[in-house]
Amino acid sequence: MTEIVPLAEPHFAGLRDALDSVAREQRYLAFTQAPPWEECLVFYRDIVTHDRSHFVALVDGAVVGWCDVLPSHGQARAHVGTLGIGLVTAARHRGLGKTLMLAALGKAWAQGLTRIELTVRADNLNAKALYERMGFQAEGLQLRAFRVDGAYHDLITMALLR
């Protein structure tokens, strides 16, 4: 059974494991491994405490992905959120990314955000296509913004306005 649910404390360990799995692919996230458990715990508890837009995908109770829209810093950017998303390898190409994004975007809009930003590696064509289908528009290119094992990768900046 597949479920999309708001992040809650019982999901914390599984979410960190999913984050670590995606990060170790060294292709999709700025992390190349998950932060230490204690840092994740503080971060996840803050999300729950402040009722942030953060959803997890569960398959038979196990966390296989997440999507969040977290607020930007500064009063002049209080209307802006940044979208983050990840799915473990086995959960990709099943429509979970879109479903997660719809949940996270819905809550972000309901909480008053009017601009959602993200970055995606220029060579991540599947993710870029999903973002475009969801209405995100490319706004720019950050040259050599990622470096993994000495190899540089460009990032595309995208945004969705409401």
Task: For the chain, give the secondary structure using H, E and C.
Answer: CEEEEECCHHHHHHHHHHHHHHHCCCCCCCCCCCCCHHHHHHHHHHHHHCCCEEEEEEECCEEEEEEEEEECCCHHHCCEEEEEEEECHHHCCCCHHHHHHHHHHHHHHHCCCCEEEEEEECCCHHHHHHHHHCCCEEEEEEEEEEEECCEEEEEEEEEEEC
28 near 127, Cβ under 8 Å? yes
14 near 57, Cβ under 8 Å? no
Q: Is residue 131 part of a domain?
A: no
63 near 17, Cβ under 8 Å? yes
Q: Is residue 89 part of a domain?
A: yes
Q: Is residue 132 part of a domain?
A: no
Report pLDDT for 11: 98
Amino acid at 117: E
CATH code for the domain of 27: 3.40.630.30
Domain count, the chain: 1
Report pLDDT for 121: 97
Report pLDDT for 144: 97
- How far apart (Å, rounded) are the C-alpha atoms in residues 149 and 162? 38
Q: Is residue 135 part of a domain?
A: no
Give the domain range for residue 93.
2-114
**Averaged over 5-16, what is the pLDDT?**
98
Per-residue pLDDT reduced to its tens digit, 58-94: 999 999 999 999 999 999 999 999 999 999 999 999 9
Report pLDDT for 74: 94
**What is the chain's alpha carbon radius of gyration, rounded to the nearest angstrom?**
15
Q: Is residue 162 part of a domain?
A: no
**Cα atoms in the 13 Å half-sphere on the side-chain side of 72:** 16
Q: Is residue 156 part of a domain?
A: no
Q: Is residue 120 part of a domain?
A: no
Q: Is residue 8 part of a domain?
A: yes
